[in-house]
Amino acid sequence: MKFLNASDESGLREECGVIGVFLKDEEKDAVPLIYRGLLSLQHRGQESAGIAAAKNKVIELRKGMGLVSEVFGQASLENVKGSAAIGHVRYSTAGASIIDNAQPFVSRFKLGSIAVAHNGTLTNADVVRELLEDSGIGFTSSSDSEVIINLIAKNYRKGLERALTDTIQFIKGSYALVVLTDDALVAARDPNGIRPLCLGALGDRGWIVASESCAIDEAGGALLRDVEPGEVVIINGEGLHSFTFSEKTTRAVCAFEFVYFARPDSIIDKVDVYGARIRAGKILARESPAPADLVIGVPDSGVPAAIGYGQALGVPYGLGIVKNKYIGRTFISPSQALREKAVLTKHNVIASEVRGKRVVIIDDSIVRGTTSKRLVAILRGAGAKEVHMRVCSPPVCCPCYFGIDTPHRKDLISNGASVQRVCQSIGADSLAFISVEGLLESLDGGPEAGYCLGCFTGEYPIPVPGEG
């Protein structure tokens, strides 16, 4: 995470993945489970990866730039072993792609050592950092996550629980945190639960916490439950206990996790991501049916919604678009020219599938419009008779301040533009987005569910300096 400067919308925001494992048997090594868990969280961050492990009251750390498989070659984990460990994958925009900002962060001090891995963005990090710097505490990175570790370290003499509570009550924004001490694993989630974090059991061997349940599946564990908004879970040799650190908790889980970020095989806050995407497609079909011979989805996150859309209208679903999986993230390329080039290589059409047909193409979102413009053009180029675009999130017209990378407000194609204007600009025959109500209906998470819809509505669960 980087410091958020709300007056500067170019501020970096990022999505990350975190994981922690605690094994009861001190002789066992948790690191291979963390490594495999990070592989399954790779979609949440591809810029850097790191693992910290605690053994005999010493925390060892390995981190580096690149994919999990690149950072942890065969030999690199030989000296990082321990029955408790945490890991992190990071995704940020190009500017701050430096090793200093890679996580976990480790702090070694008189009373012990701690390591922290964080997904989210603090909205008051600059203020807290200034206070810490004024009291003589130094920083080695531009990351707001370092604020968290320094606050815990500063309060550590009060005992772990107090240190955590004091820290958490000081920081504002979104955080799914895993913390490793010499002898404990801690998981904590902000009072709105904006970023996901869940808890699993590894049979009678121990526990696992992770951003998404797909990492628990990978470890052969069983999903127990989500870490609740405002909850701290502490796992140590005596077992697991938890407490709520915030009296006021209002669930506001990021809806974009379900739309785009999370893996479809994950369950977040009791909602199965794949099911939610299928439902979104069906609702979109009900709200905005299109005259079509074929429904196709933009891989990967548009595919389940396309299946649902096709099922609801009785129109066949086909694989009309192929994605090159080795291209990296077009979305975060530093310039529009580079993004357009990358998008060109990223998708291709199966011409024989779309030629002469009225095609409905479903994507999870339109942000700048680069992807949809290109897709409409290549579908027409391949001979599609009509191209109707349907989107299973509402128009993205406001920045995210809580952990997802969104461009400047002025670069969001739907900011201040009508659907008709966006349709003209991407060159489609028709365009429709799911409604906010429709999206909420798709996220059928039970009566207690609440979602952050800030990027669609501009209404944020916590006040953001400089916003409404």
C-beta separation of 348 from 376 below 8 A: no
The CB-of-382 to ligand AMP minimum distance in angstroms stands at 18
Q: Is 92 in the site for ligand AMP (CB under 6 A)?
A: no
Pick from 40, 83, 333, 370 the residue near ligand AMP by CB under 6 A. Answer: 370
Q: Is 369 in the site for ligand AMP (CB under 6 A)?
A: yes
Q: Is 401 in the site for ligand AMP (CB under 6 A)?
A: no
Residues 271-300 that bind ligand AMP (CB under 6 A): 298
Pick from 126, 353, 386, 405 the residue near ligand AMP by CB under 6 A. Answer: 405
Pick from 329, 355, 358, 385 the residue near ligand AMP by CB under 6 A. Answer: 329
286 vs 110: CA distance, rounded Å: 62
Q: Is 363 in the site for ligand AMP (CB under 6 A)?
A: yes
Identify the H or E element spanning 109.
strand 105-109
Q: Is 368 in the site for ligand AMP (CB under 6 A)?
A: yes
Pick from 333, 365, 414, 442 the residue near ligand AMP by CB under 6 A. Answer: 365
Instruction: Verify cis geometry, omega within 30 degrees of 0, for the bond prior to 463.
Output: no
Question: For this structure, is 254 an active site residue?
Answer: no
Which residues neighbour 63 within 8 Å (Cβ) at sequence distance 6 or greater? 48, 49, 50, 51, 71, 88, 99, 102, 103, 104
Q: Is 456 in the site for ligand AMP (CB under 6 A)?
A: no
Q: What is the DSSP string of 76-91?
A: TTTT---SEEEEEEEE
Query: Which stretch in 111-119, 126-134, 246-254, 370-378 sits in contact with ligand AMP by CB under 6 A?
Result: 370-378
Residue with tokens 């429904």: 295
Residue with tokens 């005992």: 159
Q: Is 371 in the site for ligand AMP (CB under 6 A)?
A: yes
Which residues neighbour 459 within 8 Å (Cβ) at sequence distance 6 or greater? 453, 468
Q: Is 364 in the site for ligand AMP (CB under 6 A)?
A: yes
Q: Is 119 in the site for ligand AMP (CB under 6 A)?
A: no
CA distance from start to end of the chain: 24
C-beta separation of 270 from 262 below 8 A: no
The CB-of-298 to ligand AMP minimum distance in angstroms stands at 5
The first and second tokens of residue 443, run together, are 């996220």
- In degrees and rounded to multiples of 5, residue 203 shows phi and psi of 55, -135
Pick from 404, 423, 432, 462 the residue near ligand AMP by CB under 6 A. Answer: 404
- The residues assigned a catalytic role are 16
Residue ranges binding ligand AMP (CB under 6 A): 260, 298, 301, 329, 331, 363-372, 404-405
